[in-house]
Amino acid sequence: MVVVDPIITLFFFSLLLYPFSIFSNPTCKFTFLDSNKLYNYTLSSPIRNFPHGILSEDGFYKVAVNETTLWFQLCDGMVFNHDPPTCTDCRDCGGPTRCGMECSALVANNVGGYHICSTLGRGSKVDVDVIDKKNPHTGVIVKMSSGDPKNNCSLAVSVLCDIKGVQGPHTLQRLGDCNYATELKHPSGCAIIVDVHGRGWGWFGTLITIVLCLLAAYLLVGIAYRFFFLGIRGIEVIPNLDFWVSIPRRTQSLCGSLVRKFKGPSQGHRSTYSPVNF
């Protein structure tokens, strides 16, 4: 089934609710349709008490667990005005002098007393999805990857809905050789819910649309051919004009036949045959 109305509704509500965003990153916009409710998440849009949305005003989020330190920023690249990462190798994320400034997530592991850094995410490699499809109020999960085919690292950040304020990140999980996960609570993880009434016309509406488009294309091509190649002018330029003119009469006759068929003969109607008494 093809759903039309929710998509159109989403488009217009997006224009009304978020006409301008200081960080217009389309990867941080996500919508989820559940029954007649449309959950609209726009992590980078300004909200009350948070003019930068989900973005950390420090320029980055930081969490350190044991010998591992993680820096990341959601919906944008990281900016370090203080406490920059110190890594022995940061070639793919800004180099030693600008380490962390050219990626959106970076992890440092202490190996033999040296901090070895790996890029976990870039702004162009971001995917957003709801954490729990059965309970969209929970929040969303933002997945980012480095995009390096040789060392494909990634970070999954669960943004839990909390209207009270920001909490975390405090935990860090290692899911593989170079795959990490963390979570934080933020009001931007709460969706704006739009009630969507109806599911569109479905396949019937799609069929009608296709037929009307084909009919319009036929008329346009026919008119152009008769006008430019046959030199016909005036109303006669419409192809099969007699047929189109007869449509109202045909429709009226068909409706009349159907009415007589279902209502039966009228009171004033006299049958061709008369009963004969023997």
**What does the pLDDT look like over 125-164, one tens digit per residue?**
788 888 888 888 888 899 988 877 777 888 999 999 988 8
pLDDT band at residue 48 under the 50/70/90 scheme: confident
| Residues β-bridged to residue 154 | 145, 179
Q: Name which of 20-24, 44-48, 181-185, 226-230 the model is least confident about.
A: 20-24
Contacts of 71 (CB under 8 A, 6+ apart): 60, 61, 62, 78, 85, 100, 105, 106, 107
Does residue 187 contact residue 163 with C-beta atoms inside 8 Å? Answer: yes
Of 1 and 271, more confident:
271
Residues of the chain with pLDDT > 70: what percent? 81
Q: What percent of the chain has pLDDT over 90?
A: 7
13-30: average pLDDT: 46
| Lowest mean pLDDT segment, chosen from 2-6, 62-66, 240-244 | 2-6
User: How confident is the model at residue 264, as a pLDDT?
Assistant: 64
The segment with the largest mean pLDDT, out of 50-64, 92-106, 137-151, 233-247, is 50-64
pLDDT at site 46: 86
Average pLDDT, the chain: 78
pLDDT given at position 137: 85
Contact between residue 179 and residue 187 where contact means Cβ atoms under 8 Å apart: no
In the block, residue with structure tokens 């320029």: 59
Indicate if the pLDDT at residue 196 is higher than 80: no
pLDDT above 80: residue 232 = yes
Assessment of whether the complete model's pTM goes beyond 0.75 = no
Q: What are phi and psi of 97, to 5 degrees?
A: -85, -25
Which pairs from 106-110 meet CB under 8 Å and 24+ separation? 106/70, 106/71, 106/72, 106/78, 107/68, 107/69, 107/70, 107/71, 107/153, 107/155, 107/178, 107/180, 108/68, 108/69, 108/70, 109/67, 109/68, 110/67, 110/68
> How many residues are recorded in the chain?
278
Which residues have CB under 8 Å from 169's CB, separation 6+? Answer: 61, 63, 70, 157, 182, 183, 184
3-state SS assignment for residue 188 = helix
Q: Is the pLDDT of residue 260 over 70?
A: yes
